[in-house]
Structure 1
Amino acid sequence: MLRYPNIDPAVFRIGDFAVHWYGLMYLIGFVAAWWLGRLRARRPGTGWREEEIADLLFYGALGVILGGRIGYILFYNFALFLEDPLVLLRIWQGGMSFHGGLLGVLIAMWLYGHKTGRSFFQVTDFIAPLVPIGLGAGRIGNFINGELWGRPTDLPWGMVFPFVDQQPRHPSMLYEALLEGLVLFLLLWFYSAKPRPTMAVSGLFLCGYGVFRFAVEFVREPDAHIGYLAGGWLTMGHLLSAPMILAGVLLMVAAQARAEKAADSQGSERS
């Protein structure tokens, strides 16, 4: 059995000013995406220039922050927003929705593609492998903040969160850091290392994240003010992740079908 280490959520404080680990994790995610994006842009035939990455990430950062916070309020805590609208601005206290952030990023990528003359999926295929490191860092931020703990367990790595109770629980935020962060990054990075049909990398991202998140939801404690949905086991995370899995599979199937059709057309022209 492990015990939660009770980490101060602030990296340091100077008077009333404090730099929080949660915010630092976002910075780590954006810096990692910038560095990885420049590496991807150097690959032959990408059609991207290293100089474009900073502009691309500026759009992405706006999408993540605005979409993530607004999504959290709409999906998980709208009643609190009605009581205190300024809670929308208190990002350092935690409370960011991945699914809201995803919608924000998709809108931002559409705007960026329109600006640069690229299709929506050309942009999302390029940026998808850059995202998981930030997701993993964000989950570490959740762990430091002492939020999103798991359900009780008797497994040897069960962790006691003393601010919850004395039961060993799944450290579900660490599961997500591993799966949504490291594993998803490796999956996307190596898959995208070779030329893939348009939409395929985006589809793998949606499918991979959806599956990992759906699985972890079985051991993650649901938000207290929402609880379980239909059937006594379904959570809001399940409800939001299932469409991602379906959309990801459909995109990958459509990408492969389009690639095969294009190959057949080229073969017919040569013959």
Structure 2
Amino acid sequence: MTDRYGALRGVLISTADNCSVNCRFCFRADIGRDVLSLDTYARALSRLREVGVEELCLSGGEPTDHPEFGQLVRVAVQFGFRASVVTAARTGPRLDALAEVAGMLSHITVSADSRKAEERGRTGRTLSSAPPVFEALGHRRASLHVTACGLDEDDLKEIVTVAETAEVPVEVSPLLPSPTFRFENPGLKRDLALISTFFGMSEQLTTVVSDYHAWLHGEVARSCESERLYLSADGFLRRCPYDSSRQVSVFATRQEIGEALERSFCEPPTTGLACMAICRPETREG
């Protein structure tokens, strides 16, 4: 890890701008038609290793929809990265692609939604469809992440059952109302109380909720504290997924990439409401 870029340790990778899941409350930064090519990806990984990045997370769009998803994972391992995936895979080609390389992944986050969140997002990421995913992985380097809205007793029981049966940790995050995505959660206060009582509020989630209320009740100016970069599907690196004004192509020279990254850490972008879901602070063990 280089001291030049502060706490930089990972990169979030957008495998494609489009997504067949198309959650209504999706937080992905880029929406379009670009799909990450293997040449661009390999070039990016080479440059990222040079600046000390050791971890990557494949996101999307839905990463298992990428036509060469397995190769993305294999190339990451060949470069020496610890590779993880955030996925809504459930059945068919998606689950087959995930299961094929599951043993190479350091972690797999399986996304799911409470019933009312699923209705609002039209996601199809139901809790009831999640157990076969964990069974197909063949290991427990995985976790369940549930987006919650209008939690009720049946939701709580199902979340606990899925997590305990699969023997994986679970994090439940409330669906935060957002003017950006134009949805509301009138039961947010109750959802937070239930999450706290049944699952506990992680340090990350506590920070997110605190920041959310601060942003709603006044102007908050805070510099980006993200510990990872973002790689867009068209091959640009940037500090903030939502700010492309200071991005740099992975096909730029080493010097140009280094200078761009150094500027992004010397003059970090300002965080906003949209930043919370994708770049919230992470708790590290040890």
State TM-score, norm by structure 1.
0.23
Name the structure where strand makes up a greater proportion of residues.
Answer: 2
Larger CA Rg, structure 1 vs 2: 1
| Normalised TM-score (structure 2) | 0.22
